[in-house]
């Protein structure tokens, strides 16, 4: 072991919290807050330690360092003050809540990558009666489900409330009443447990589903996010440094699937039945429009496509002409794919990314997945397609992103509000500047 005496440095004023660094017998680093320690002279400190991993390490190795927290490492230093290495090796358990649309979801995620539980209560059957999500019903169903679902998530994970180190929650974007339910519940849980509250942007969560599925994936990469309410191209420069590079100007791809499905007499949500129907035909029957926005090659539009399908179906009905529903589903999916896939490749090229991650419910689409695979293979881009289970709304993805937001210092206090819309590079940055826990 290399040893070095750095000597006494009389610069520890005003009284800081001291961090003791040690190694165990295997060279594994450990850090702890020396709460019972302080300055006793111009060049002397005193530290009083009871039984800790740190004490064991000092006895074994007869070596330690003393450091103090600077602003950049405030969060990490807070963390070692809260979590004991005797109890927790180095794991951080986040209880995560998602309620932005018609899924109530609660999950426990460890260190942003390992899903300990992922409880979901879908309301889709209820909304299917109305052919789409009814916001007020969604809010009420979240209220009914969330408490029991939280118990289930904890039980499934084999942990208790005391094991939870932080709470993460979707605060935007989504149906405002629905988001508010999860947010209010998450706030009270964080308050009751005395743990930090981490605000998570829903779409950042969708992107983070990739971290759960692919342990080796790290930023930077280009993300193609396609859900029921949003369609975006995002340059993921770092875990919490995300830049929007393209977006739909009107409807989301998922919304377009759902409305088209309705016209074809398919149940809500229409993505999956459309997917199945499209595979029954080779298509090539219907000529559907492709949109482009002058001067903005990475932006998209789906409303014209939606209207074209609606008009086509209505005209056929009025003229009493038969509609080849499977061919229409196929040609429609091809048109959606033509909007998304070439733009994703262009975005990757423009941003200089060699990795593409897909996200959101529409990423479950069979034809789209095949098209993305082919395009990426052609252009030498590594493609990450999360499994279907992680494509739709879930709590685990919020826990994954929540971990990285936590590491970046994102914290909210009890004044955190819900937002129906919020940019992907917004808000969390503002919270980061505050760097304060709800009990600080």
**Interaction site with ligand KG4 (CB under 6 A):** 101, 227-229, 254, 257-258, 269-272, 274-275, 360-362, 364-365, 392-393
Q: What's the min distance (Å) between Cβ of 101 and ligand KG4?
A: 5
Nearer to ligand KG4, 64 or 302 (CB): 302
Contact 421, 252 (CB under 8 A): no
Nearer to ligand KG4, 164 or 274 (CB): 274
SS3 276: helix
Could you tell me which residues come within 8 angstroms of residue 395 by beta carbon, excluding any fewer than 6 positions away?
Answer: 96, 97, 98, 105, 106, 107, 118, 119, 120, 153
Q: What's the min distance (Å) between Cβ of 228 and ligand KG4?
A: 3
Q: What's the min distance (Å) between Cβ of 190 and ligand KG4?
A: 23
To the nearest 10 degrees (0 to 180), the angle between helices 303-319 and 253-263 is 10
Q: How far is CA 204 from CA 40, 47, 283, in A?
A: 47, 42, 35
Nearer to ligand KG4, 184 or 260 (CB): 260
Nearer to ligand KG4, 196 or 270 (CB): 270
**What's the rounded Cα separation, in Å, for the pair 317 and 323?**
8
Q: What's the min distance (Å) between Cβ of 283 and ligand KG4?
A: 15
SS3 66: strand
Nearer to ligand KG4, 101 or 180 (CB): 101
Q: What's the min distance (Å) between Cβ of 407 and ligand KG4?
A: 24
Nearer to ligand KG4, 75 or 362 (CB): 362
Q: What's the min distance (Å) between Cβ of 362 and ligand KG4?
A: 4
How many Cβ atoms sit within 10 Å of the Cβ of residue 280? 11
Contact 286, 294 (CB under 8 A): no
Nearer to ligand KG4, 77 or 178 (CB): 178
Nearer to ligand KG4, 110 or 275 (CB): 275
Closest among 388, 390, 426 to 405, alpha carbons compared: 426
Q: What's the min distance (Å) between Cβ of 72 and ligand KG4?
A: 34
Q: What's the min distance (Å) between Cβ of 137 and ligand KG4?
A: 16
Nearer to ligand KG4, 165 or 275 (CB): 275
Burial of 324 (0-12, 13-18, 19+ CB in 10 A): middle
User: What's the sign of the alpha-carbon dihedral 137, 142, 144, 149?
Assistant: positive
Q: What's the min distance (Å) between Cβ of 386 and ligand KG4?
A: 11
Inter-residue long-range contacts of 345-351, CB under 8 Å, 24+ positions, other chains counted: 345/375, 345/376, 345/379, 345/381, 346/297, 346/298, 347/222, 347/224, 347/233, 347/235, 347/245, 347/246, 347/298, 348/222, 348/379, 348/381, 349/379, 350/245, 350/298, 351/220, 351/222, 351/235, 351/245
The two structure tokens encoding residue 123: 């309301």
């Amino acid at each position: 072991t290399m040893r070095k005496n750095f000597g006494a440095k009389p610069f520890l004023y005003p009284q800081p919290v001291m961090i003791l660094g040690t190694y165990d017998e295997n060279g594994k680093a450990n850090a702890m807050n020396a709460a019972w320690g302080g300055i006793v002279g111009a060049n002397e400190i005193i530290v009083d330690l009871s039984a800790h991993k740190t004490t064991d390490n000092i006895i074994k190795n007869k070596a330690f360092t003393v450091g103090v927290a600077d602003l950049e490492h405030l969060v990490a230093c807070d963390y070692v003050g809260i979590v004991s290495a005797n109890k927790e090796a180095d794991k951080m358990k986040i209880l995560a809540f998602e309620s932005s649309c018609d899924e109530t979801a609660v999950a426990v995620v460890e260190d942003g990558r390992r899903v300990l539980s992922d409880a979901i209560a879908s309301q889709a059957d209820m909304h299917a009666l109305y052919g789409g999500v009814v916001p007020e019903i969604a809010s009420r169903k979240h209220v009914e489900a969330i408490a029991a679902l939280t118990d289930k998530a904890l039980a499934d994970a084999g942990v208790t409330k005391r094991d939870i180190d932080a709470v993460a929650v979707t605060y935007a974007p989504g149906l405002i009443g629905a988001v508010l339910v999860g947010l209010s519940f998450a706030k009270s849980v964080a308050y009751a447990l005395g743990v930090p509250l981490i605000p998570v942007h829903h779409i950042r969560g969708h992107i983070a589903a990739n971290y759960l599925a692919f342990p080796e994936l790290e930023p930077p990469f280009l993300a193609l996010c396609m859900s029921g309410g949003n369609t975006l191209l995002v340059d993921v420069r770092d875990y919490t440094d995300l830049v929007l590079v393209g977006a739909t100007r009107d409807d989301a791809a998922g919304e377009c699937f759902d409305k088209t499905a309705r016209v074809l007499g398919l149940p809500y949500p229409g993505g999956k039945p459309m997917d199945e129907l499209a595979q029954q035909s080779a298509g090539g029957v219907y000529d559907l429009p492709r949109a482009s926005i002058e001067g903005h090659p990475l932006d998209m539009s789906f409303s014209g496509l939606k209207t074209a399908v609606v008009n086509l179906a209505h005209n056929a009905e009025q003229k009493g002409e038969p509609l080849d529903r499977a061919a229409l589903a196929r040609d429609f999916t091809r048109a959606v794919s033509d909007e998304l896939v070439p733009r994703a490749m262009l975005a990757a090229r423009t941003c200089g990314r060699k990795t593409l991650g897909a996200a959101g419910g529409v990423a479950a689409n069979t034809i789209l997945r095949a098209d993305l695979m082919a395009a990426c293979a052609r252009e030498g881009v590594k493609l990450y397609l999360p499994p279907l289970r992680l494509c739709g709304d879930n709590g685990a993805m919020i826990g994954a992103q929540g971990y990285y937001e936590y590491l970046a210092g994102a914290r909210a206090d009890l004044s955190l509000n819900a937002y129906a819309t919020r940019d992907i590079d917004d808000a969390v940055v503002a919270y980061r500047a505050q760097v304060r826990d709800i009990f600080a």
